[in-house]
Chains A and B, each alone.
Chain A
Amino acid sequence: MNANLKQALTDYLVAMADDELILGHRNSEWCGHAPILEEDIAFANIALDEIGHAIVWYELAADLSGEDRDTYANRVVYFRDAPDYRNTQMVELPKGDWAFTMLRQYLFDQFEMVRLEKLTQSSYASLAEAAAKIRTEEIYHLRHTRAWVRRLGLGTDESHRRMQAALNDLWPYALALFEASTRETLLIQASYIPDISILKTAWQVQVTTYLQEAALTMPTNSSHAIPPRTHHTEHLGGLLSDLQQVARLDPMAKW
């Protein structure tokens, strides 16, 4: 693998990992606060899974960069500042209400599912293997968030109103998941990753059908452009100060 390709793949893996980490951390904010106890347990598990998946992607990035797996994730997670994170803005938005949280997770889970299915065919073997593993776990996430979207969309007037509001807010951010960086072309040519425009079509058909079945109306004004992954909202800084606080108090601490 030439240096350009290696760097492009490392960047791609870190962006994937950052999405999972930041969303997992946001979700963990519901721990102890979810609407019912059963859901508190379920959603804390989903948060944990996403953070676990982030570690898998960081480890692959470490291997590519010739770095030590055991220290790489801690370093990039705890000691990078907000401008260096490469997550998409959707995952850093505050957790909002339960409708917002569930819809965001559903849109992301469905995105992950279509991407993971394609990544299992990656010509980069470690990526294909990890994708196959993670995909089996994501089946449980998607089933769970699909059930919530349906329940809230078809539930009471208030749950429906909240879901529709969440969808209107989230839709442009969700579409931004499919903004490809220019260097991804290299990776697509090497058959390392799928063409994101193909993923977008598959995802859009699936979520549109399902959300309409849940009595939700698809937003039409998607003109609100979301900046690329190099730009963040002010919310990411707040999240990171929470996430990184202890590690930065004593960087040499051993746990």
Chain B
Amino acid sequence: MTSEAVRQIWQALDEVKDPEIPVVSLVEMGIVRDVTINDACVAVTITPTFSGCPALHAMKVDIVEHLHTLGYANVEIKTTFMPAWSTDWITESARVKLRDFGLAPPPIHRGDVNVMLLEVATCPYCGSTNTSLRNSFGPTACRMIYYCNACNQPFEQFKPL
């Protein structure tokens, strides 16, 4: 019973979208780390993408509201930094959605800072790798700005972390 309920909650949380990237869910982004049920109380553990991410509060509110609609009145949100969130956790399905959204997915780096800071990105519009980094910082904490020299289109990449 409980494991079935937990499974249903994971499924429900897969419908809660990232407030800043509304095509991917908090589960696909690797933000939801754990779900437990104790009596009628649901505890959801999440980990912030960037520690100063201003969307974190909105994520918590969205999770609580979504679970309320499922009949869980008592929802507790915990945050953890252990282990620290990594863009490597973004699922393959989410990477496709990010690209379709016009946001280049982050390269898999396996903790290697040199790969993280590689200044190459694949243009989400034309697929060219003839691109240049314009700004390591972008419109949100998690994005950087590139320019595609092949299709002359500026684009954003999810910042590898």
Q: Which residue of A lies closest to B135 (CB)?
A: A38
Q: Give the number of residues in B that approach A within 8 Å (Cβ atoms).
A: 24
CB-defined contacts of A53 to chain B, threshold 8 Å: 51-52
Stretch at the interface among A125-133, A158-166, A190-198: A125-133
Cα separation A42 to B145 with both chains bound (whole Å): 10
Complex contact B84–A38 (CB within 8 A)? no
Q: How many residues of A are counted as interface, with CB atoms below 8 angstroms from the partner's CB atoms?
A: 27
Q: Are B141 and A129 in contact (CB under 8 A)?
A: no
Is residue B89 within 8 Å, beta carbon to beta carbon, of the partner chain? no
* A50 contact set on B, CB distance < 8 A: 52
Q: Once the chains bind, are B84 and A136 in contact (CB under 8 Å)?
A: yes
Can you identify 20 A-B contacts, CB atoms within 8 angstroms? A38-B134, A41-B137, A41-B139, A44-B137, A45-B137, A48-B54, A49-B52, A51-B52, A52-B51, A52-B54, A52-B141, A53-B52, A56-B51, A56-B81, A129-B81, A130-B51, A133-B51, A133-B81, A133-B84, A134-B51
- With A38-B145, A139-B116, A143-B117 already in contact, the answer to whether A52 and B82 are too (CB < 8 A) is no
**A46: Cβ under 8 A from any B Cβ:** yes
- A129 in complex: contacting residue of B84, B134, B135, B161, CB < 8 Å: B84
The 8 Å CB contact of B161, one of A45, A46, A137, is: A137
Which residue of chain B has its CB nearest to the CB of A144? Answer: B136
Interface string of B18-59 (1 = CB under 8 A from A): 000000000000000000000000000000101111100000
B136 near A41 (CB under 8 angstroms)? no
Q: How far is the CA of A168 from the CA of B80 in the complex (A)?
A: 42
The proximity string for A residues 13-55 relative to B, scoring 1 for CB distances below 8 Å and 0 otherwise, is 0000000000000000000000000100111111011111101
A residues 201-223 touching B (CB-CB < 8 Å): none
In the complex, the answer to whether A41 meets B84 with C-beta atoms within 8 Å is no
B95 at the interface (CB under 8 A from A): no
Give A126's nearest chain B residue, CB to CB. Answer: B81
Question: Is B51 in contact with A42, judged by CB distance below 8 angstroms?
Answer: no
Chain B interface residues (CB < 8 Å from chain A): 48, 50-54, 80-82, 84-85, 113, 116-117, 134-139, 141, 145, 159, 161
Most buried by B among A38, A46, A125, A136: A136
Whether A52 lies near B50 (C-beta < 8 A) is: yes
Rounded to whole angstroms, the CA-CA distance of A52 and B113 in the bound complex is: 22
A139–B137 touching, CB < 8 Å? no
* Contact call B84/A143, Cβ cutoff below 8 A: no
Number of A-B residue pairs having CB atoms within 8 Å of each other in the complex: 69
**Closest beta carbon of chain B to A123's beta carbon, Å:** 15
Interface residue A79 (Cβ < 8 Å from any Cβ of B): no
Q: Which residue of A lies closest to B117 (CB)?
A: A143
Contacts of B52 in A (CB 8 A): 48-53, 55-56, 137
Residue of A nearest to B47 (CB): A133
Render A148-183 as a binary contact track against B, CB cut-off 8 A, 1 for contact: 000000000000000000000000000000000000
* B135 surroundings in chain A (CB, below 8 A): 38, 41-42
Whether the pair A132, B84 counts as a contact (CB closer than 8 A) is yes
B136 touching A129, Cβ below 8 Å: no
Taking a contact as CB atoms under 8 Å apart, the answer to whether B138 and A129 are in contact is no
A155 to B159, CA, bound (A): 29
Distance (Å) between the CB of B159 and the closest chain A CB? 7
* Contact A129 to B117, CB < 8 A, known contacts A41-B138, A140-B159, A143-B136: no
Q: A residues within 8 A CB of B139?
A: 41
20 extra A-B contacts, CB within 8 A, seeds A52-B52, A140-B136: A42-B136, A48-B54, A48-B141, A49-B50, A49-B51, A49-B52, A50-B52, A52-B50, A52-B53, A56-B51, A56-B52, A125-B82, A129-B84, A130-B51, A132-B81, A137-B51, A137-B161, A140-B159, A143-B117, A144-B136
Bound-state CA distance A132–B85 (Å) is 10
Q: Which chain A residue shows the least CB distance to B113?
A: A139
